[in-house]
Amino acid sequence: MKLAEMLDTDLLAREVADGYISCSVHPDDPSLKVLCYGKVTQITGHWNEATKQCRGLIIRSELDDFSDAEVVARPWRKFFTLQQVQSGWALGDEEEGTTIESDIAALDFEARAEVTDKIDGSMLVLYRHPDGLPAYSTKASFESEQAAHYTQLMRRHPVTCEAAENLLTQRPGETWISEGVGPSNQIVLAYPEDKIVLLGGVDHATGTYLSAKAVRGIWGDNGLEVAAVMPAHNLGEAVGIADREGKEGVVVRIISDDVEKQMQIKIKQQDYLVLHRLVTGFGEKAVRHAIMSCVVTFADLDRIASSGTSLDLPEVRNIVEFSDNPIFQNVRDKRREQFDAAIVPAAQAAARAKAYVAALPESDFAKDPREAKKQFALSITEAVKATGAPQGVLFTLAGARIAGEDLDLVDAGAVMAAAARTVKHTMTEEEQMT
């Protein structure tokens, strides 16, 4: 179908030009494009028919104004989370607490709905790759790490690949959406193995939601996983579902013959919201501040270099091991990885620098301090090359040795400052676009 039949292409072109919608081109076919709202759209609440519809929308178009665009895959429109706040029920956008104005009374809590388990992974949109085989795109990219991984996973598994092919050939004019989960793509919850879970679909022509039950013979009866259907038949019953251990929550799909009355709503468990904030809220600034707050000597860095973990520092250990509750294991692991990635390499370089300076002959330092510093400065390039340590760290150690200080007891604040500067928080597509 023509893209113009489902949304205003002039509006779409403006939103792309203004940066509210990203347009990513397929590397093997420049006419194939995936459209998705951006982070700025979420932050500013810039929601309209174009930004809401562009949530992994795949089109084929040669023109910049999209006037020739054909729909290749039509995933679900952007949908929001039902959150309970002090003032009552409200529609909110994800866990950050950003809200959009909406009259909650307009929601029909008794309308017929399918309620399914909310899977904590990356949305996968099934489409046919230019190579002729089934493939997955994520919300904003044909080439994301998740798109590549789950496409390969699907193609390596004959039953899954056959099912994906059957969805494309036997259900033309429909888009089928799955969720990719597993150790290689952990967002918050831990799944023991990488797998593709079918969520449901969309009819291109009408935008009608399609239950995964409709394709049970293609995907489900053959052992492939489908999102579990919950014992609730409307939004009111879904709200009453008790929190389940190790789950994110549920998705309510209000069913109606009138597409305008269709609605999807996410209800996220309170324990998941806590976990999400703990995982995503401890970002670059928090890690840098924590590293800078550590009181460390070069002896401490020697122990970290030897053990390979920053947990030897009590300040880090207190932040990482804030709770022994198993539910927080993923949070603990992610925080430890953040600290280790910055501190361990810096500690190893510092340990090499200390050993290098300690091994220099006593004659290098048994002279006028100014002359000793000058001589060391002349060899600093060689020292950096030998140790991989910053010049400042080497000069600190050389100065301590000139002053006759114990190198183990030298303050390593400069090392920690340098380690803090290396911290970068690279968000996954799912974290950016959820």
Same-domain pairing of 83 and 69: no
Same-domain pairing of 235 and 289: no
- Is 432 domain-assigned? no
Residues with Cβ within 8 Å of 384's Cβ and at least 6 positions away in sequence, in order, are: 390, 391, 394
- Is 65 domain-assigned? yes
pLDDT of residue 340: 94
pLDDT of residue 408: 95
The mean of the pLDDT values for the chain is 87
Same-domain pairing of 40 and 100: no
Considering only residues 408 and 244, tell me which one the structure prediction assigns the higher pLDDT: 408
pLDDT of residue 279: 65
Same-domain pairing of 328 and 253: no
What confidence tens digit (pLDDT) does each residue in 220-230 have?
999 999 999 99
Considering only residues 106 and 213, tell me which one the structure prediction assigns the higher pLDDT: 213
Point out which residues pair with 90 in neighbouring strands: 83
Residue type, 179: E
Same-domain pairing of 133 and 34: no
- Is 275 domain-assigned? no
- Is 276 domain-assigned? no
Same-domain pairing of 121 and 190: yes
Query: Taking a C-beta distance cutoff of 8 angstroms, is the pair 74, 175 a contact?
Result: yes
Same-domain pairing of 209 and 324: no
pLDDT of residue 343: 95
Q: Structurally, how many domains does the chain consist of? A: 3
Tell me the two tokens of residue 391: 């010049």
Indicate if the pLDDT at residue 432 is higher than 70: no
The DSSP-derived string for 221-279 is TTS--BPPBPS-SBHHHHHTPPP-TT--EEEEEE--SSGGG-EEEEEE-HHHHHHHHHH
Q: Average pLDDT, stretch 198-223?
A: 94
Domain end among 53, 73, 93: 73
- Is 428 domain-assigned? no
State the pLDDT confidence band at 95, using cuts at 50, 70 and 90.
very low
Same-domain pairing of 67 and 87: no
State the pLDDT confidence band at 102, using cuts at 50, 70 and 90.
very low
pLDDT of residue 83: 55
- Is 430 domain-assigned? no
Same-domain pairing of 52 and 80: no
Same-domain pairing of 218 and 314: no
Domain end among 48, 73, 98: 73
- Is 120 domain-assigned? yes
- Rounded CA gap, 401 and 213, in Å? 74
% of the chain surpassing 70 pLDDT: 89
What confidence tens digit (pLDDT) does each residue in 365-414 have?
887 888 989 989 999 999 999 999 989 899 999 999 999 999 999 999 98
The neighbour count for residue 229, using CB atoms within 10 Å, is: 14
* Domain around 315: 282-421
- Is 126 domain-assigned? yes
Q: Tell me how many degrees the CA angle 317-323-324 measures, rounded to the nearest 5.
A: 100
Indicate if the pLDDT at residue 84 is higher than 60: no
Q: Tell me how many degrees the CA angle 399-403-408 measures, rounded to the nearest 5.
A: 75
Same-domain pairing of 55 and 81: no
Domain end among 28, 52, 73: 73
Same-domain pairing of 173 and 80: yes
What confidence tens digit (pLDDT) does each residue in 132-171 have?
999 999 999 999 999 999 999 999 999 999 999 999 999 9
Considering only residues 282 and 131, tell me which one the structure prediction assigns the higher pLDDT: 131
